[in-house]
Structures are given as C-alpha cells and as structure tokens.
A and B are shown apart, each in its own frame.
Chain A
Amino acid sequence: MTLFANSPVKSFVVTRVASGLVSIFFISFLVFLGTSMLPGDAANALLGQNATPETVLALRTELGLDQPLPVRYFHWLGNALHGDFGTSLSNSQPVINLLVPRLINSLILAFSAAAIVLPLAVGVGLLAAINRGKAIDTATGSISAIFLSMPSFLIGYLLVFIFAVKLGLFPPLSMVRSSASLPTWISALTLPVLTLVLVAQAHVMKLTRAAVLGVMSSDYILMAETKGIPRNRIILKHALPNALSPIVSICMITMAYLIVDVVVIEAVFNYPGMGKLMVDAVAYRDIPMVLACGVLFSTIFISLNFTADLLAMLVNPRQRLPKKGN
C-alpha cells in the first residue's frame, strides 16, 4: 500500500502496461493485415503443388480464411487469450502443444546464461570503473569492443570449433530431448550458454562501467574525493547505491535481449527452443505458428523491459516520491 499509493509509481504502471498492450495488439494485428493483403495465402502455401481452385477454396473455408479480417482477428484474439493459438499449418497439431516445450527450453537456456553473465559482467564493469584508465580497464574495454563487433553465430561456431571439434569436450549440436538425463542436459547446454554469456557480457560490462562513472562525475563525489576518502571506498559506499538503479535496469534489459538472442544461438546449435521453432515456421510460412511465437517473444520482451523500468524506479527513492509542486 505504502509503495503503490504514491501517484508516480501508480500512474507509471498504468501507462506502461497500457502501452505494452498496445504494442502487442499492434504486432498481432499487423500479421493479420499482412496475410490478408497478400495474394498467396496459407491455403495456397499449404497445398503447394496440389493447389487447384477447388481445393484452395475448400481449405480456405476450413481455415476460416473466407471470413472478413476484423472477424478473424477478434476470433483469434479471443482464443489466444484462452491459450488457443490455432493449429500449426505445417504439422496440423495445436500450436500451443508445440510451443510450450520449446518455450521452456528457451527459457532454460536464457536464464542459465543470465545467472552467469549478470554477476560476472557487473563485477567486471565495477572493476573497470574502479581502475579507470589503468591496464585492466583498457583490456576489458578492448575485449568488449571485439565481442560487440562479432556476429553471435561467429562466437558460437568458434566455441564449437575449439571445444567440440578440436578438444572433443562437448557435443557440437545440442539436440536434447526433455527426457534426457541431467549430465546430458548440462553437456548439451554448456556451449550455447557460454555463447550467450559472451554475447551479452560486453553490453552489461560497458553499461555498468558507464553508470558508475556517470555517478562518479557528480559534485558529492568530488566532495568525498577532496575529503581524501580512498577511491575504492568512494565507489562502493558513495557511488554504487546511486548507480544501483541503472544497474538493475541494465540487468533486466539484458535478460530481455537474451530471450531474443536465443533465436540465432538456437540455430547454431540446433537447440530445440522457441527461436528455432519460429525460424522454421517462417521458412514454411506457417502463419499461426509465426504469430504465436512473435506475440510470445514480444510479450516477454516488453514485460522484462517494463520490469526494468519499474525496478529502477523503485530502487531510486527520488523517482518514487511525488514531484514537488504536485
């Protein structure tokens, strides 16, 4: 009560949830609009070589493609809210049944990576900020510049080359089944998780360093410096509490990006996650599947970004209180 009674937090939550929903409606409606404007629809795509005008017409009726667009859209939306995303066009199973195991696999991958990269990279970023301009700062800075310039599949394949092809320590592909034993899972997950860690660490490190150094340029830090307090103590006791809000938001935003980065990484390792499912669905133009994956990915991404801003607000007392003059 105490926290949410404050009007800025409440109005923030309301506006952001509303605008998040608008984005999700927008992306789902976009697909409907697009599919209806194009000549080759799902019925044609599905029948391929066997498409005669009669079979196409029959299938269009069966799929409900002959209904007007708004009707179809709200029909889909109503079902989606009940967890029914329709039937996959490529293997005629309910989309949701195919989606859920893949989603769990993707979340396992992304959260394992987040659990490793966040503490590690925030720590290194702090270290770089403490030792600003010294060898360790320059070294971590150059390494992150190199990783930021590498396509994520290059990082993935380099790891495959070293650890799977040359050293033979891990399998080059991670085609696990959910029934696989724990050691199998761990050995299959190691390389994809390590790739994600390397992809994300550069961002987290750079942003943490910038956040701490940004606070370091304020007047009260200058005051502490002129009092002769050692630099380590200034950073940990004086600067860090104020840098906490940007760091928390960096962590959440990184998780949001990790969820999306899995699309490419899963393709490198043939990992059975949602990203791979979506890419395959795009190749087959399996629109119900693409739509479900797209909406789900966007929802997770938008919610994590929202959480990032909310946490950053709650961590920082100044943003939590009503502004003066209100």
Chain B
Amino acid sequence: MSSKVTLGVSVAVLATMAAAAIFAPVLAPFPPNEMVHAAFDAPGVGGTLGADGLGRDMLSRILYATRYTFVATLIATTLACMLGVTLAIIAGLSKGWVDIVIGRAIDILMSIPQIIFALIILAIAGVSLTTLILTMAVLQSSTYYRVTRPIAGDLAAMEYVEVGRLRGERLHWYLFKEILPNMVPSLLAQFGLGLSSAALFISSLSFLGIGIQPPAADLGGLVRENALALSTGRLTPLIPAFCIALFCLSVNGIVDWLVGRYSDKPEVK
C-alpha cells in the first residue's frame, strides 16, 4: 500500500473520531449515564450497539468515552512536549551544572517503568483526571527531552547562532527564529508517537480502574466495565478497545508519512 493511501485513510479515520469526540453530545442518542435499556440488551434491540450491564446505551457511552480519551491524550501529550522541549533548550543553552542536573533527573525518570511510577503517584495523590494527566505529562516529557536535547546543543553551537549572539540578538530571537524551527520535523514525529503511546497508557490505567472514575468512562474504562459481557459471546464489549487500536494505527500511519517526507531521499528500490 502506498504511503499516500495510508495517509488518506489515517487522516479520514482520525477526522471521524475527532468529530465523534467533539459532537458527542449531539450525536449520542441517549444520555451516557442513564439506564435507558434493559441490562445486556442485544445490539439492535436496545440501541444500535446494545446496552451494558446496567442498561446504559453502549453507543452513547462510546461516543463520550472517545471524548475523554481524546482530551486527556491531547492535553497530556501537549504538556509533555512543552515540558520536555523547554528543559532541553534550557539544558542545551546553559550547559554546566544545570545541564547535568536536568540530564540526571531525566535518566532517573526513564530508568523507572512508567506504569509503576504512575501507580505509585496515583496511590499517593489519589485518583483524579488532573493527577492522571499531569503524571502522564511528566513521564512522557523525558522522550521529548531525549529527542530535542542533542538538537538544542548542536544548534546552540552553530555559527549562525553564535553570530546572532555576537550581534547582540536577544534570547527569544535565536530561540524562536533558529532553534525551534529546526526542531520541528523530529518533534512532529515524536509528538505523533507520543499521542499513540499516551492513548495506550491512559487506556491501560483506566482499564486497571485507576484512571477516569465512574460513572464517566474513557475507552479503557468501558472495556473494564463490560469485559464480563464477553461470556455472552458478543464482541461489542471490545468495540472501545478497537477504537483505541484504530486511533493508534492512524496516528502511526501519519507519523510514517511524516518521517518519510522529512528524511533524506529514499533509497533506490
């Protein structure tokens, strides 16, 4: 499959999911947290996708869950990117002990398994959406730091940046005119990968029951709620999980296209 086709399909899928997330209140046929059907109604009998164990409408719950997953993923990834890049630029420009301290802190952060770290933080701080998003942002910032720190160091040593400094330009000049634009290609790819890993991470935590709390549920939380219904022989409880997979596949499809576009000339086939 050519990368153009993959890109088209990926963008279409993501656009559909984003529309579902944004217009969930309009699109949902029933309120997500009200018992409108009989428990475990089959798809088509009670609502398009049936009902969960409490008789809530599955389709409506999935639409709202997509919304939670999208918002949490986007905020956490954006914060992580901003934090990681800021630290990388500070470390790259200042050198010396500031650089060493930041570098060591990031090393420690990366040497501890992320999900274990998150479990510990959530056990201490208690489970809430804000804590969850902030924890994810801090944990994932290390990857952005790793990607941008060498670039920041190289760029700071570039002649044109030196010239700019000598010319008496201010910090924000070479930051916004020179350093940041040069980071964009690698950052974009990393941001895409970060989106899919954040989506998987938050879904896993919610699946474990320590993410978004009931009655609200994100896609991972919906799987947790409905897993027992698998024994009825229906696959509908897994639809939310398929949504997560579809999201990650599409994001990765776009990242592949980006990497292909920005990398050097492709090798001769």
Q: Beyond A19-B111, A260-B116, A264-B207, is A290–B125 a contact (Cβ under 8 Å)?
A: no
CA distance A23 to B252 in the complex (A): 32
CA distance A160 to B227 in the complex (A): 10
CA distance A280 to B235 in the complex (A): 27
Size of B's binding interface in residues, CB under 8 A: 42
A151 pairs with B112, CB closer than 8 A: no
Contacts of A285 in B (CB 8 A): 123, 126
A151 pairs with B125, CB closer than 8 A: no
**Could you list 14 examples of A-B contacts with CB < 8 Å?**
A31-B124, A34-B124, A35-B124, A133-B269, A151-B203, A161-B238, A165-B230, A256-B113, A264-B204, A279-B208, A279-B209, A282-B210, A301-B116, A302-B111
Q: Beyond A31-B124, A146-B249, A298-B116, is A283–B209 a contact (Cβ under 8 Å)?
A: yes
Hey, what's the 0/1 contact readout for A285-323 against B, CB within 8 Å counting as 1? 101001101100110011001000000000000000000
Hey, what's the 0/1 contact readout for B201-221 against A, CB within 8 Å counting as 1? 001100111100000000010
Told that A22-B108, A294-B120 touch, could you supply 6 new A-B pairs with CB distance under 8 A? A148-B248, A153-B204, A157-B238, A172-B231, A283-B209, A293-B116
B121 pairs with A34, CB closer than 8 A: yes
Contacts of A287 in B (CB 8 A): 123-124
Instruction: Tell me, yes or no, whether B107 is within 8 Å of chain A by CB.
Output: yes
Hey, what's the 0/1 contact readout for A142-177 against B, CB within 8 Å counting as 1? 000110111111100110110001100000100000
In the A-B complex, the 5 residue pairs with the smallest Cβ-Cβ separation, listed nearest first, are A34-B124, A149-B248, A154-B241, A282-B123, A260-B113
Contacts of B175 in A (CB 8 A): none
Hey, what's the 0/1 contact readout for A230-268 against B, CB within 8 Å counting as 1? 000000000000000000000000001100100110011
A157 pairs with B230, CB closer than 8 A: yes
Instruction: Tell me, yes or no, whether B117 is within 8 Å of chain A by CB.
Output: yes
B235 pairs with A161, CB closer than 8 A: yes
Across the two chains, which residue of chain B brings its CB closest to A298? Answer: B112
A260 pairs with B123, CB closer than 8 A: no
Minimum CB–CB distance for B213 against chain A, Å:
11
B245 in complex: contacting residue of A150, A278, A302, CB < 8 Å: A150
Instruction: Tell me, yes or no, whether A20 is within 8 Å of chain B by CB.
Output: yes
